[in-house]
Amino acid sequence: MDKPLTSDAAPSRATSVNVGGELWLSVGEVAFLGEGRIGLLEQIGERGSITQAAKAAGISYKAAWDAVDAMNNLAPAPVVATATGGRGGGGARLTDEGRRLIAAYRTISAEYRRFLESVNAVLGDPEAGVAMLQRLALRTSARNQFIGQIVSVTARPVDAEVEIAIQGGARVRAGVTNESVDCLGLKPGRHVWALIKAVAVRIEPETSITEPGLNRLCGQVQRITRSDGPAEVVIALEAGITVRGLIEAERLEPLGISEQAPACALFQPASVIVGVSD
């Protein structure tokens, strides 16, 4: 980094050039894991509690749960297993996949750091420090983030329907323009992101009748977060992944939606944002 100018120093064009980088672990074509989440996993492994791990990591309980949900959704297999208990109760443990990812990340990051230090030494700045990755691999306002593989692309006169197989065998249909299909290179076999805002997801009982054309993901309610506005409901699906949506708090009891009860998340294909990594 350039030295700051003082009042008696003249501006100079000479600067130090350093090579920096960010280490990400990826699933297929999608990067999903960085230093922040690895640190949280290590705290969970040490403390056996998401509540205590969140405190140790300096983040909120909700942020820790969001990170765990995202990691379980995007990793090849769940990295954290949780026990029933609610806020302050229950427990959490690392799975074999979680321990494997931590070990892989720490080994690779050490080699990566040495590589950057050697490159910067060659560039004439041996004192250059290497800033480790602090941000997560993907930051988005969409609370539901899945990775999957395109099963089919059905073209229509103006738009197309893209069917995506996500973890656990679930299928998500997305409505995109034909131009997007061409620009993003969407075709069967390609790995993609499927992003859905929680506000676009409706929570209904498992016994409800689904309107034609809607995506429907059903499972068991993992937790409910109430606020002054709508309640957020997180539903655990197969393979340890989750989906979340909103519902008016006053509808929870009449519809029989409670923790550990079955429920479904419904959303329009047009609400699904399809993303690629390149």
Check pLDDT > 80 for residue 150. Answer: yes
Check pLDDT > 60 for residue 130. Answer: no
Residues 132 and 185 in one domain: no
Domain assignment present for residue 262? The answer is yes
Residues 271 and 153 in one domain: yes
Categorize the per-residue pLDDT at 1 as very low, low, confident or very high, splitting at 50, 70 and 90.
Answer: very low
- Cα gap 102→116, rounded to integer Å: 21
Domain assignment present for residue 236? The answer is yes
Residue 276, pLDDT score: 83
- Cα gap 236→97, rounded to integer Å: 18
Residues 202 and 262 in one domain: yes
Domain that holds residue 170: 144-275
- Find tokens 């993901």 and name the residue: 217
Q: Percent of the chain at pLDDT above 70? A: 76
Domain assignment present for residue 194? The answer is yes
Query: Number of folded domains in the chain?
Result: 2
Residues 133 and 27 in one domain: yes
- Cα gap 24→135, rounded to integer Å: 10
pLDDT in tens, 26-70: 655 555 677 888 889 999 999 999 999 999 999 999 989 988 988
Residues 68 and 164 in one domain: no
Mean pLDDT in the chain?
80
Domain assignment present for residue 27? The answer is yes
For every residue of 39-71, DSSP letters joined together read: HHHHHHHHHS-HHHHHHHHTS-HHHHHHHHHHH
Which domain CATH number covers 39?
Answer: 1.10.10.10
Residues 82 and 129 in one domain: yes
Check pLDDT > 60 for residue 88. Answer: no
Which domain CATH number covers 269?
Answer: 2.40.50.100
Beta bridge partners, 245, equal 233
- Find tokens 């690779």 and name the residue: 108
